[in-house]
Amino acid sequence: MPLALLVLALSSFAIGTTEFVIMGLLPEVSTDLSVTIPQAGWLVTGYALAVAIGAPIMAVSTAHLRRRSALIMLMGFFILGNLLCAIAPGYWVLMIARIVTALCHGAFFGIGSVVAASLVAEDRKARAVALMFTGLTLANVLGVPLGTAFGQAFGWRAPFWIVTLLGVASLAGLMLVLPKGEEVRHGNLGREISALRGVGLWLSLLTTVFFSAAMFALFTYIAPLLRDITGVSPQWVTLTLLLIGVGLTIGNLIGGKLADWRLGATLAGVFAAIALTSAIFSITSHSFIPAEITLFLWAAASFAAVPALQINVVSFGKDAPNLVSTINIGAFNTGNALGAWVGGAVIDAGFSLSHVPLAGSVMAILGFITVVLTFATARAKGAALASS
């Protein structure tokens, strides 16, 4: 694998860390900026919404640039946003800084995944995308817990200074190792928009939404579920999250290899595995060791879908791969919000926390259905073209 893929992985590690680290520092932010916990929580929601809304806008805005130039510019925005977070004198400046940072998020992952796939042979594209996204999974395994601990020890601003330095290192790496021979791309808004036509593409994007919804319906409420249903200590909650992070990383790498082998079968199998492990966890959550085993398998199954989902949408939007790949990042974030809402709705309806995984299982079943419809549509279109 080219060195450029490692630099893209470092960049995704920095971006993933800055997105999620603030969740562990909401009490410190709330106290320092004199806002309530729910108001501090909007810093997380605002970021996710900015990713979903800003991703396609940034993709179209950079359509005329070489991908190398676009990634370097986006990393510059990322550095600026984190620097503003580190020095923000008040709540609204911090919110604006988070939005500035989020604007680069979706476009960077979207364009970066296209670049990652272009660096390798056809039969290794999904693995290349998986390697880039390994940085995102490692952000959850290492970046977020370490950043949280560092912020609790030295103040909530400290992690943003560290991520700013990571951004500078990523920028230098991008400038040094990304290929320079790419031809200038001539942006055409009409062509970009026309690439969004087709049932297959929108089914693929809907598949991504259901994937994230299936994952975050459970993941959002994993801490209270472990505490109140499984009965583990706060220390074991942290260790369980670490175990989940390891599962996510392993699943991501395995999923890349499987997607290069058979894309449709991989997606169908992954959604079936997510539905099954989520349903099983609603039972095993009452016992410590079975719960830990189930969560590890659930995590591995979940992130095995990520590279396949990214390759899937690009295959249906070949005329504007940057745009559709970036919109898919927005679809991930839309699914995050949907999953959190669905899991919360289960709790608000009076059901036990142990029923929340069943909501994730339902979302995974819906995702399985969209996978079947997506590839049935592709086969029907291929048959129609062959007959004409």
DSSP string, 136-187: HHHIIIIIHHHHHHHHHHH-TTHHHHHHHHHHHHHHHHHHHHS-S-PPPP--
Q: Let me know whether 182 and 208 are in one domain.
A: no
Q: What is the CATH number of the domain that holds 211?
A: 1.20.1250.20
Q: Let me know whether 182 and 120 are in one domain.
A: yes
Look up residue 89 and give its DSSP letter. Answer: -
**Domain termination site, one of 187, 216, 244:** 187
| Torsion, Cα of 84, 90, 91, 92 (10° steps) | -70
Q: Let me know whether 92 and 30 are in one domain.
A: yes
Q: What is the pLDDT of residue 386?
A: 47
Q: Let me know whether 268 and 373 are in one domain.
A: yes
Q: Let me know whether 2 and 147 are in one domain.
A: yes
Q: What is the pLDDT of residue 385?
A: 45
Amino acid type, 62: T
Rounded CA-CA distance 358/345 in Å is 12
The angle that helices 234-261 and 125-138 make with each other, rounded to 10 degrees, is 170
Could you give the angle at the alpha carbon of 190 between the alpha carbons of 189 and 195, nearest 5°?
A: 100
Q: What is the distance, to the nearest Å, from the Cα of residue 123 to the centroid of all Cα atoms in its chain?
A: 23
Q: Let me know whether 67 and 110 are in one domain.
A: yes
Q: What is the pLDDT of residue 339?
A: 84
Q: Let me know whether 183 and 254 are in one domain.
A: no
Amino acid type, 249: T
| Number of independent structural domains in the chain | 2
User: What are 19's two structure tokens?
Assistant: 């997105």
Q: What is the distance, to the nearest Å, from the Cα of residue 246 to the centroid of all Cα atoms in its chain?
A: 16
Q: What is the pLDDT of residue 188?
A: 56
Name the residue range of residue 200's domain. 189-388
For residue 295, which of 339, 363, 239 has the smallest C-alpha distance? 239
CB-based contacts of 84-91 (< 8 A; 24+ apart in sequence): 85/18, 85/157, 85/160, 86/157, 86/160, 86/161, 86/164, 87/157, 90/33, 91/33, 91/34, 91/35, 91/39
Q: What is the pLDDT of residue 75?
A: 94
Rounded CA-CA distance 44/26 in Å is 9
Q: What is the pLDDT of residue 219?
A: 81
Q: Per-block average pLDDT, block size 10, for the chain (388 residues)? A: 85 89 77 81 79 80 82 93 94 93 85 84 78 80 80 89 95 89 56 69 91 86 84 80 84 82 88 96 94 94 84 75 76 82 84 91 95 82 52
Q: Let me know whether 159 and 279 are in one domain.
A: no
DSSP state string for 241-280: HHHHHHHHHHHHHHHHHHHHH-HHHHHHHHHHHHHHHHHH
Could you give the angle at the alpha carbon of 170 between the alpha carbons of 300 and 335, nearest 5°?
A: 40
Q: What is the pLDDT of residue 24?
A: 67
Q: Which residues contact 319 (CB under 8 A, 6 or more apart)?
A: 191, 192, 194, 195
Task: Please tell me the total number of residues recorded for the chain in this structure.
Answer: 388
Model pLDDT for residues 79-122, shown as the tens digit of each residue = 999 999 999 999 999 999 999 898 888 888 888 888 888 888 87
Q: What is the distance, to the nearest Å, from the Cα of residue 349 to the centroid of all Cα atoms in its chain?
A: 28
Q: Let me know whether 176 and 75 are in one domain.
A: yes
Q: Let me know whether 61 and 93 are in one domain.
A: yes
Q: What is the pLDDT of residue 235?
A: 73
For residue 29, which of 39, 40, 19 has the smallest C-alpha distance? 40
Amino acid type, 284: T
For residue 304, which of 381, 251, 233, 365 has the smallest C-alpha distance? 251
**Domain termination site, one of 121, 156, 187:** 187
Amino acid type, 87: I
Q: Let me know whether 259 and 385 are in one domain.
A: yes
Q: Which residues contact 215 (CB under 8 A, 6 or more apart)?
A: 274, 302, 335, 339, 360
Q: Let me know whether 197 and 165 are in one domain.
A: no
User: What are 94's two structure tokens?
Assistant: 């911090």
Q: What is the pLDDT of residue 208?
A: 92
**Domain termination site, one of 187, 222, 237:** 187
Q: Using CA of residue 352, residue 354, residue 360, residue 361, what is the dihedral sign?
A: negative
